[in-house]
Amino acid sequence: MSAFVIIYYAILLAVSCLAAYFNQRTIFLAAFSLTLVSFVLGIVGGVPALRFVAISAVVLGAAAMISFAFREFLIVLAPKELAKELRTAPLTAAFGMFVIFTYAVAAILAPWIAPYGEAQVVTSAFAPPDSNFLLGADQLGRDMFSRLVYGTRNSVGLALTATTAAFILGASAGLLAATKGGWLDQILGRIADVIMSIPSLIFALLMLSIFGPSVTVIICAVAIIYAPRVFRLTRAVAGNVVVMDYIEAAKLRGEGTFYLIRREILPNSTAPLIAEYGLEFCFVFLLVAGLSFLGLGIQPPTADWGSMVRENATLISFGEITPLIPAAAIALLTVGVNFVVDWMLFRSSGLKEQ
């Protein structure tokens, strides 16, 4: 029995005892059941299994602590109204905000953070990680870490632009349809139906093979694919607002459509739209990454997470995790954004009052 195992069980038992002593029911249950599970795990999987459990626990704990600290930071920095809202944020949302914040920093400060250029060949192909190349090198000998940092800028930037474009397109069409109604509503609705009936990946592939894989084409294709979903949501949300008496009052006053949308309808439908924005961002991001993986996204030598996975895919068969790192970066951002969106949906749905 190694020292690690002894310390492992000692800590678990100590936590259980302390929790029991201070009458912390949930903590006690968690710690004690983990102890019991660990006995079985230890017998079946041996020390590595226990080590895995310990590392997961430490990582989770660290994430929780970072989230907590980050939330407290935000509360101190934010203005009073916002701080009050932030105080109600669950740890998961704080974690999501922290992830988004980290990615934003990486994207904005990429040239200063990355030790090498994104297309610079600095060492031999597939060089293993060392003190100079934190994550090793790719198939041409470029620094993985630098490319990952630059990739944030390219992949996230592209997804953000495409989502925003989809939103501008879909939301303005939805608001117009809800406000004007009648034939305009019908026409826009049918157009949306037609676009939605085409499988999205096939549509994107078609567009990209017709017009060639440039950034503009990607943005346009993605915007057209995702605009109908935004259109539907916006139309539904705005549809509930346009029937209110204050809209009637504004119409009777003689206000134009633009004023109605901007001052009367939009302020009352922002919450679900923002949540939808976050959600759509994840889908767009995955679609863009998928296109890159197929070789139709951002073209080399520009660093992009999707294409980085593809370029290094051969390493998988040698048991290397290098190609999985960009994939993990994608997964982490998606999870983070979803955590924040969950919190926003929770707030806007009024569930907190129950």
Partner 1 sequence: MSKKDVLLKIRNLKIQGYSNETWVDIIKGVDLTLHRGEVMGLIGESGAGKSTIGAAAMGYARDGTRITEDSTIEFDGMELTTATEEERRALRGSRIAYVAQSAAASFNPAHKLIDQHTEAPLQYRIKKRMEAQEDAVDLYRRLRLPNPEEIGFRYPHQVSGGQLQRAMTAMAMSCRPDLIIFDEPTTALDVTTQIEVLAAIRDIVDQFNTAALYITHDLAVVAQMADTIKVLLKGEEVEEAPTAQMLDNPKEDYTKSLWAVRSFTSPQRYRPTDGTPPLISVKNVDASYTGGEKVLDDVSFDIYEGMTVAVVGESGSGKSTTARVITGLLPPSKGEVLFKGEPFPPDYRQRSREELRQCQMIYQMADTALNPKVRISEIIGRPAQFYSGLRGVKLKNRVDELLDLIELEPSQYYNRYPPELSGGQKQRIGIARALAAEPTFIVCDEVTSALDQLVAEGILRLLDRLQDELKLAYMFITHDLATVRSIADEVVVMQHGKVVEQGPKEEMFTPPHHPYTDLLLSSVPEMDPNWLTTLLEERGVDNVGDAALAQISPDDEKVAGTKV
Among 35, 268, 338, 348, binds partner 1 (CB under 8 A): 268
Q: Is 190 helix (H, G, I), strand (E, B) or coil?
A: helix
Our separate counts of H helices and E strands in the chain read 15, 0
Between 178 and 223, name the residue whose CB sits nearer to partner 1. Answer: 178
Minimum Å distance from CB 269 to partner 1? 10
Between 51 and 251, name the residue whose CB sits nearer to partner 1. Answer: 251
Between 190 and 263, name the residue whose CB sits nearer to partner 1. Answer: 263
For residue 321, give the nearest of 144, 92, 118 by alpha carbon. 144
Size of site (CB under 8 A) for partner 1: 16
Rounded Cα–Cα distance for residues 220 and 161 (Å): 10
Q: Are 159 and 219 in contact (CB under 8 A)?
A: no
Between 255 and 320, name the residue whose CB sits nearer to partner 1. Answer: 255
Minimum Å distance from CB 348 to partner 1? 13
Among 257, 263, 300, 321, binds partner 1 (CB under 8 A): 263
Between 261 and 309, name the residue whose CB sits nearer to partner 1. Answer: 261
Question: If binding is defined by CB under 8 A, does position 194 make contact with partner 1?
Answer: no
How far, CA to CA in Å, does 18 sit from each of 9, 11, 14, 197, 270? 14, 10, 6, 59, 47
Minimum Å distance from CB 254 to partner 1? 5
Q: Which of residues 219-258 bind partner 1 (CB under 8 A)?
A: 244-246, 248-249, 251-255
Between 210 and 351, name the residue whose CB sits nearer to partner 1. Answer: 351
Minimum Å distance from CB 251 to partner 1? 7
User: What are the beta bridge partners of residue 143?
Assistant: 137
Among 212, 267, 300, 301, binds partner 1 (CB under 8 A): 267
Angle between helices 3-21 and 25-77 (to 10 degrees): 90
- Give me the amino acid identity at 199: P
Between 19 and 265, name the residue whose CB sits nearer to partner 1. Answer: 265
How far, CA to CA in Å, does 258 sit from each of 168, 175, 220? 15, 10, 25
Between 234 and 292, name the residue whose CB sits nearer to partner 1. Answer: 234
Question: If binding is defined by CB under 8 A, does position 350 make contact with partner 1?
Answer: no
Q: Which x/- pattern, by CB under 8 A, does the window 306-325 give for partner 1? A: --------------------
Minimum Å distance from CB 167 to partner 1? 20
Question: If binding is defined by CB under 8 A, does position 353 make contact with partner 1?
Answer: yes
Question: If binding is defined by CB under 8 A, does position 264 make contact with partner 1?
Answer: yes
Residues found in the chain: 354
Q: Are 313 and 64 in contact (CB under 8 A)?
A: no
Minimum Å distance from CB 249 to partner 1? 6
Rounded Cα–Cα distance for residues 269 and 277 (Å): 13
For residue 166, give the nearest of 273, 86, 89, 12 by alpha carbon. 273
Count CB neighbours of 108 within 10 A: 12
Which pair of structure tokens corresponds to residue 126?
């597939």
| Residues near partner 1 (CB under 8 A) | 244-246, 248-249, 251-255, 263-264, 267-268, 353-354
